[in-house]
Structure 1
Amino acid sequence: MTATGVDAVVRDLLADIETLVRCESPSSDHEAVARSADVVAALGRRLLDAEPERVVVDGSTHLRWRLGGTPRVLLLGHHDTVWPIGSLETHPYSVRDGVLRGPGCFDMKAGVVMALHAAASVRDRAGLSILITGDEEVGSPSSRRLIEEEARGCDAVFVLEASADGGALKCRRKGVSLYRIDVEGRAAHAGLEAEKGVNAGVEIAHQILAVAMLTDPERGTSVVPTALSAGTTTNTVPARASVALDVRAWDPAEQRRVDRSVRELRPVLADARIRISGGINRPPLHAEASSGLFGLAASLAESLGLGALTSAAVGGASDGNLTAGLGIPTLDGLGAVGGGAHADDEHVVVAELPRRTALLAALIQAVTDGANAHGTAPATDADTADTADTAGATGATSPR
């Protein structure tokens, strides 16, 4: 697809997404994230005619726009990615055959651009707040308090994370817990006197097998050992080893069960010592937090001629888990339609960009105009359909 073959709205969206994708921003590189924040700030300044507040916490740069009055609607996104510097060389930005590609385009630089364009298009921005953070991909350690403070008192939070398969909105998400198990053993020469050592690699293997048994597929709970390290040289009994754990669960009770079990771990080998760090990172996003706003979105999509919306439950978490955990109505997955998040085939469907941006703008306006956050849009002569009925007809679900 060439620039001459798209309308002005799509052309402007693509130009801004390209600018943001070309500014690489891996979460752990604070200088790169700061450069990305400069690009996002310039984009917002141009579109909104407003300067963002730059909030730097523990080296991570976050941006916040408050566009007048007491915040009622929060647009929430992040500009950091999982892609290291240099990824553009192997995964170059491109737009071909209606598909946009590039590192971080789907998760979630397109969503950031969509948020700013949607905000710029609404007729009255009073009560609108926009928060774009710089550390979501590493668990939001420095932005969590900022997110929760900004969301409190809002009627709705719209999260610009990418959609689920087929463009479905993410109306239910698993909660996340993150742990690290560190083992301290004792080094020794592996060939001369291995018996004098305490093998931290063997101990960490015991711990990995123990935590893997905490998985409960029937409840949808996964406990996955991920990053693993042990030892220094091939002829030395490892004195130290560590493993990271990624835990996902639909139910807070399951998060607590796993948390207790992880903290009760004990060494298997004599003289080995273990240390547990981390814990419950964010609660599940329950369907109840999204159902009302999904109904409103479904009604607006129909009135805009965008067709039926569908919803999905997903294992991945987002900052929407944090706002839903506060009891704030939260609708997630409003960003780009496409696929391949964090993967080589990351991509965005170009034709959906203006459609989803228009839906977001309508949602913002509906809530700021007085739509309550339980799914009832302001009544008009042209739209008297019952929102709950519309939601049911368009695939609102709460699957496990």
Structure 2
Amino acid sequence: MVDRLRQLVHQESPPGAVRRLHDCADLLESWISPVLGRPAVRVLHDGLPHLLWPAEDQRVLLLGHYDTVWPEGTVADWPFAVADGIATGPGVCDMKSGIVQMVTALSLLPDTSRVGVLLTCDEESGSPTSRPLIEQQALRSRAVLVAEPSTEDGALKVARKGGSMYRITVQGRAAHAGVEPHRGVNAAVELAHQVLAVRALATEGTSVTPTVLSAGSISNQVPESATFCVDVRAWTREELDRVDRMIHAMTPWLPEAALVVGGGINRYPLQESVALPLLELARLAGRELGLPPLAGAHAPGASDANFTGSLGVATLDGLGGVGGGSHARTEWVDVTQLADRAALLAGTVAGVLTAHRRSGLAAARPAVTRT
């Protein structure tokens, strides 16, 4: 498993790098297709290759992504390394270790005929092209198990914040900044007021964060236009809806300025109700394997589990590597736990299949409205 993790980390897969993503997809196909005994369907959107191994009678979907946040060439100065049982390198935790564990888990199962696998390549960009495919395959399944990393202490993820993304454009009027600034409508000033107004929408548990800002093009001109981006995270869909309404209702502070709001809710939260039945199955599998007791954690970050859980499909996240530091040069994973976590995933899949035969899991599935 460590050798495979090294190979996968060195097979770089930056966001949007079509050639690199296809090369990585080739490697993953060579590992997974022989284990499942069926070929992958390479689903292309804008040239991006999503890998799907559908099952005819699909009861479980194993879900993950093989793109990372790291640009091409990162491994040249930060190669995969292992020291004292800890592996480091770009994407080692998020989420290439989870994929390696997934491959091993599949090899441990005596029958994978009812297990589908989907590995996408645009999750780090917000899943713009893979979301319809994720939702389609989730709705074909009784349960979705997501191989994103666990918490640093090994807890599985039973809830995640939902997220929204906005790009707000301010339109003003240009004028000479020194000679007649009063004839302009300063888009930078309007932007400043709107940034403060947006930040005030945050409440406890809901973050509303202005991020990228830009205004003007030259220092001696009143800025004619400006833009800023906003990142919103919340534990409930009601909170996301509230912030969405208020952002779209914003009005200009300066006379003659204009606002255009783009974007909206990207994904609703993953709620505990869809995860807890699967957590119990994972705990049972862990006990049978003699593993330490498993906890369920609330994670502020979002993943593709938000999409599947929002459909009412039983979803459990955090079944990947035990590590931390994702998206940072401190990224790490504990390779001494790779085998146990692969066995845990296999045992959880087997538990889902058994629970479905007994109709227990289907009864636990909540009814929600798809949006």
TM-score, scaled relative to structure 2: 0.93
- 1:109 alignment partner, one of 96, 100, 103: 96
Aligned partner of 1:34 in structure 2 is: 22
Partner residue in 1 for 2:262: 277
Q: Are 1:15 and 2:3 an aligned pair?
A: yes
Instruction: Check 1:347–1:40 CA distance in 2 against 1; reply closer, same or farther (3 A cut).
Output: same
Q: 1:59 to 1:209 in 2, by over 3 A?
A: farther
Partner of 1:83: 70
Letter in 2 for 1:155: R
Counterpart pick for 2:43 among 55, 71, 74: 55
**Residues 367 and 373 in structure 1, CA contact (< 8 A), matched pair in contact too:** no
Q: Which runs of 5+ in 2 are unaligned?
A: 363-371
Contact 1:126 1:368 in 2 (8 A): no
Equivalent residues in 2 for 1:185-264 (5 A)? 185-217=172-204, 220-264=205-249
Contact 2:355/2:361 (CA < 8 Å) preserved in 1? no
Deviates most, 52-61 or 259-268: 52-61
Residue in structure 1 matching 2:32, options 33, 44, 55: 44
Partner of 2:138: 151
The question of whether the paired residues in 1 share the 8 Å contact of 2:160 and 2:269 is answered with yes
| Separation of aligned partners in 1, 2:187 and 2:20 | 36
User: For residues 54-73 of structure 1, what are the structure 2 equivalents within 5 Å?
Assistant: 54-66=42-54, 68-73=55-60
Match for residue 320 of structure 1?
305
Contact 1:53 1:63 in 2 (8 A): yes
Give the letter for the 1:285 counterpart: L
AA at the equivalent of 1:140: S
Identical amino acids, percent of aligned pairs: 46
Q: 1:374 to 1:233 in 2, by over 3 A?
A: farther
Change (3 A) 1:89 1:165: same
The change in CA–CA distance for 1:369 and 1:124 in structure 2 (over 3 A counts) is: farther
Q: Return the offset for 1:144.
A: 0.7
Q: Structure 1 residues 235 and 87 mapped into 2: Cα distance closer, same or farther (>3 Å)?
A: farther
Distance (Å, rounded) in 2 between the aligned partners of 1:35 and 1:215: 42
For residue 343 of structure 2, the aligned residue among 358, 379, 384 is 358
CA offsets 1:210-234 (integer angstroms, 9 cap, x no match): 11000001xx111111122222222
Task: Report 1:284-323 matches (<5 A).
Answer: 284-323=269-308
Matching residue's letter, 1:196: R
Asked if residue 167 in structure 1 is aligned to residue 154 in structure 2, the reply is: yes
Q: Which runs of 4+ in 1 moved over 4 A?
A: 370-376
What secondary structure does 1:115 align onto?
Answer: helix
Determine the C-alpha separation between the residues in 2 that align with 1:278 and 1:42.
38
* Aligned counterpart, 2:323: 338
Q: 1:136 aligns with which of 96, 99, 123?
A: 123
Matched residues in 1 for 2:22 and 2:254: separation?
46
How far has the Cα of 1:22 moved from its partner?
A: 1.0
Normalised TM-score (structure 1): 0.86
Which AA in structure 1 matches 2:53? Answer: W
Q: 1:29 to 1:231 in 2, by over 3 A?
A: farther
Matching of residue 97 in structure 1 with residue 67 in structure 2? no
Q: Secondary structure at the match of 1:351?
A: helix
Indicate if the aligned counterparts of 2:271 and 2:309 stay in contact, CA closer than 8 A.
Answer: yes
Contact map agreement 2:52 2:119 (CA 8 A) in 1? yes
How far apart, CA to CA, are the structure 1 residues paired with 2:294 and 2:300?
20
SS in 2 for 1:162: coil
What one-letter code is carried by the residue in structure 1 that aligns with 2:198?
Answer: V
Counterpart Cα distance in 2 of 1:227 and 1:59: 28
Cα displacement (A) at 1:364 = 1.4
Contact 2:51–2:119 (Cα < 8 Å) also in 1: yes
Report the secondary structure of 1:165's partner residue: coil
Q: Does 1:24 align with 2:12?
A: yes
- 1:171 touches 1:311 (CA, 8 Å); kept in 2? yes
Report the CA distance between 1:31 and its aligned residue.
Answer: 3.2
Structure 1: gaps spanning 5 or more residues:
1-12, 377-400
Change (3 A) 1:31 1:166: same
Deviation string for 1:220-264 (max 9, x for gaps)?
111111122222222232222111111111111111110110000
Aligned residues: 361
User: How many angstroms does 1:311 deviate by?
Assistant: 1.1
